[in-house]
Amino acid sequence: MHKLFQLNFIAASITALMLTGCGDADTKIVEKDSIVAESDEHDHEDGEDDGYTIESMGRLAVLSAESNVTTLYDLNDNDLLDTFSLIHDSSSLTYSADYRFAIISNRSEDYVGFIDGGLWREDHVEHLHDFQQAPAMSDFELNSSRPTHIVKHDGKTAFFFDGDSESGTSASVQVLSDTNISSNISEVPTLSFDINMHGVAEPNGDYLVSTVRRDDAESTSTNTILPDQVGIYHLHDGVYEQEQLLDITCPDLHGASQNGDYTVFGCSDGVLVVHEHDDVYEAEKIANIDALDGMRIADIYGHEESDSFIGIAGTTLFSINPDNEMELLEWQPSEDVSVVSYSFSYEGEHFIVLDSEGYLNILSAHNHDGDINWELEERLDISEEDVSTMTDDMSFSMTMAQNGHYVYVADPLAKHILQINLETMSIDGDIEIDFIPDSLVWLGIEEEHEH
């Protein structure tokens, strides 16, 4: 399961900041020692630096659209830290549950690999202890059939492997913490199915809330590769075992999210809302409303600080209240643009929509008589380039900081990455690059949310 990740470190003067699209320019590793406090004193006043925590804006991992290279930048000074040559072309980039690792996945190659961003936090009970090191390629890998949906929640990352009918490979789920990855865990907690499916699993402590594909003769899905039920699985001795199978079906299930209290799945006839009550999981169905007009919600976004979810049908946005309500958002993207990316801000008070015209649409939640309404607060033009010249292999992309009110947006035409302050609704700075970016993720030490 674990093989040495092939990589290419090439060093030279960082002041040149030169990186070609093929990844063969010189870079330099910036060595930073782990932060280790010498003092044993722990009687600091609240808010004082205790010698164990560090202040860092984090790091940015950027995947090139021109080559199989990922580049890491230090967001404190925008310096280039290192470049990493990946094994496979056409890989996808995301982050791990605690934002320490950049996750490189390749569905067609049955491959998942990891880059250690070099910033992480450990809970030493009497104090929190932060660490800072140079980025490094991990030799830890996952190699199972068709990795597709990668879901993060509360310190756990669930990797759903779809399997493959042609080879007779069944679907499976593997669950890891960042500590598991850094320690090269040998026995990965796993849920194994007896059939392939295009599914998703939401981690919740020692439980997995996962899709279930029934026999084609029983399935209510039009496309039977899509599951139509949800099961509850509990971890026992490294294996997830089914404890419940929820009765309410969810035809053509696709898309899932959770906010800490509820887990929501998209169905062709509505959304399935799952929650725990007295150690038993229960489910209700919120039926589709007329505004869907034959569409279905296939992507769902949630945040632990937000009571409502955002559901996407095509490019139409819906607000989902888990207490049995769905409604069309008052604001919608223009008909002549496509949407590139969606995301909640790190504290959940904004929902961000990045569109193909280079506008960052910032929606804010407002409470009206107990109901949460999302309204457009700002629409920022983040590109001075002629977007009509953008080729099919180019796209804007964005990522959210998890320790401040910042969103980072990559412009493939201008070849730079903008830092946008969501408090001031302004552009604070940029990182100049000399390759076309494909996608980017923020890595670093997440600020704890107050529930």
Mean pLDDT, the chain, whole residue set = 89
Residue 51 has a pLDDT of 75
Mean pLDDT across the stretch 264-275?
A: 98
Structure tokens at 409: 């947006």
Give the Å distances, CA to CA, from 445 to 77, 341, 432.
17, 23, 24
CA distance 440 to 443: 10
Residue-wise pLDDT for 73-101, tens only, equals: 999 999 999 999 999 999 999 999 999 99
Q: Where are the beta strands (DSSP E) in 213-292?
A: 229-236, 239-245, 256-258, 262-267, 270-277, 280-287
Residue 15 has pLDDT above 90, yes or no: no
Asked if residue 146 is part of any domain, the answer here is no
For residue 47, pLDDT beyond 50: no
Contact (CB, 8 A) for 140 and 114: yes
In a domain, 330, yes or no: no
Number of domains within the chain: 1
Asked whether the beta carbons of 87 and 113 are under 8 A apart, the reply is yes
Angstrom CA distances, 43 to 53, 122, 129, 401, stand at 15, 19, 15, 31
Q: Is 78 a member of any domain?
A: yes
Q: How far apart are CA 294 and CA 271, in angstroms?
A: 14
> Which of 338, 351, 428, 343 is closest to 392 using CA atoms?
338
Cα–Cα dist 419/400, whole Å: 10
Query: Which positions ≥6 away from 391 have C-beta within 8 Å?
Result: none
**pLDDT tens sequence across 137-171:** 999 999 999 999 999 999 999 999 999 999 999 99
Residue 37 has pLDDT above 60, yes or no: no
Q: CA distances (Å), 315 to each of 124, 296, 333, 334, in order?
A: 45, 11, 7, 9
Provide Rg for the chain, Cα atoms: 22
Region 13-28: what's the mean pLDDT? 34
233 within domain boundaries = no
Residue 114: inside a domain: yes
Give the type of residue at 1: M
Q: Is residue 276 part of a domain?
A: no
pLDDT tier at 449, thresholds 50, 70, 90: low
As a whole number of angstroms, the distance between CA 408 and CA 427 comes to: 10
**pLDDT band with cut points at 50, 70 and 90 for residue 367:** confident
Give ∠ CA 302-138-346 in degrees, rounded to 5. 20
- Average pLDDT of the segment spanning 233-243: 97
| DSSP letters spanning 382-449 | ---S-GGG--TT---EEEE-SSSSEEEEEETTTTEEEEEETTTTEEEEEEE-SS-EEEEEEES-PPPP
The answer, yes or no, to whether residue 328 has pLDDT greater than 80, is yes
**Cα-based distances in Å from 2 to 87, 143, 182, 231:** 14, 8, 13, 29
d(CA 363, CA 352): 6
User: How many other β-carbons are positioned within 10 Å of the β-carbon of residue 296?
Assistant: 19
Lowest mean pLDDT among 23-37, 97-111, 135-149, 344-358: 23-37
**Residue 101: domain span:** 1-38+50-137+384-451
3-state secondary structure of 350: strand
Upper half-sphere CA count for residue 225 (Cβ side, 13 Å): 6
Q: Is the pLDDT of residue 35 over 50?
A: no
Provide long-range contacts, Cβ within 8 A and 24+ apart, for 356-365. 356/387, 356/390, 356/395, 356/396, 357/387, 358/382, 358/383, 358/385, 358/387, 358/396, 358/411, 360/398, 360/407, 360/409, 360/420, 361/331, 361/333, 362/422, 362/425, 363/329, 363/331, 365/306, 365/308
Q: What is the reported pLDDT for 153?
A: 96
Question: Model-level pTM greater than 0.75?
Answer: yes
- pLDDT tens-digit series, residues 198-228: 999 999 999 999 999 999 999 999 999 999 9
Q: What is the largest CA-CA distance in the chain?
A: 67
What is the Cα–Cα distance from 95 to 114, expressed in whole angstroms? 9
pLDDT in tens, 115-128: 999 999 998 878 89
**Residue 303 counted as domain residue:** no
pLDDT value, residue 345: 96
